[in-house]
Structure 1
């Protein structure tokens, strides 16, 4: 499967945003909480624990950015979305490069 870099980035961004919004809607947690808390139901805590490694990779490095933006209570949501998109674009380009290197060595 030979996919272009731009198409890979767009697909990665779509899936990352879907994952973020889906887990937030399903689990009812804010973006900053990476691990399950004791007050959740058992199934929510289990799902949160299973998904936490993915959330740590997708959101972990953005926690200082999120905390900085939360200093002002009236921060518009596009700032958060732009920050996520910028980081995830870099992450997608790195993943695409690594996958391309692995394919070329085979």
Structure 2
């Protein structure tokens, strides 16, 4: 199944914002797209055992999705649209790179498959 670049980027953006929102709802006391300025953005501290285990498993995903944006998050009281736009730009670039590599892998697999078919 072939997915267009635009559709892939939109799905990636939706999944990224949904991931951050749900992560913050489950692991932080305040509900929002991004944590409040007083909360540690990459925090995994949790009083409940299952929350600590789930946070530890999801931590690498959060590092990839939000790690490079820490300088933007640590600004003193940035306006919310500034953060959302920053994340959207970073995730768009990340999605385009991932889409490129998936396409390259898929094309390589199809070429190898057709070469095996032609050898028969």
- Which TM bucket (shorter chain)? 0.7 to 0.9
Equivalent residues of 1:9, 1:92 under 8 A apart: yes
| Residue 55 of structure 2, aligned match among 45, 48, 54 | 48
The normalised TM-score by structure 2 is: 0.77
Structure 2 unaligned residues grouped into runs of 5+: 30-34, 110-120
| Residue 90 of structure 2, aligned match among 68, 77, 87 | 87
| 1:100 pairs with 2:103 | yes
1:80 shift after superposition: 0.7
Q: Distance in 2 between matches of 1:80 and 1:99?
A: 28
Q: Which moved more, 1:79-88 or 1:28-37?
A: 28-37
- Which protein shows a greater Rg? 2
The normalised TM-score by structure 1 is: 0.87
Q: Deviations over 1:23-64 (max 9, x none)?
A: 100111647432422x53211111110100100000001101
Structure 1 unaligned residues grouped into runs of 5+: none
Number of residue pairs matched by the alignment: 101
Quickly say closer, same or farther: Cα 1:32–1:6, change in 2 above 3 A: farther
Runs (4+) off by over 2 Å: 29-35
Higher relative contact order (CA 8 A, sep 6+): 1
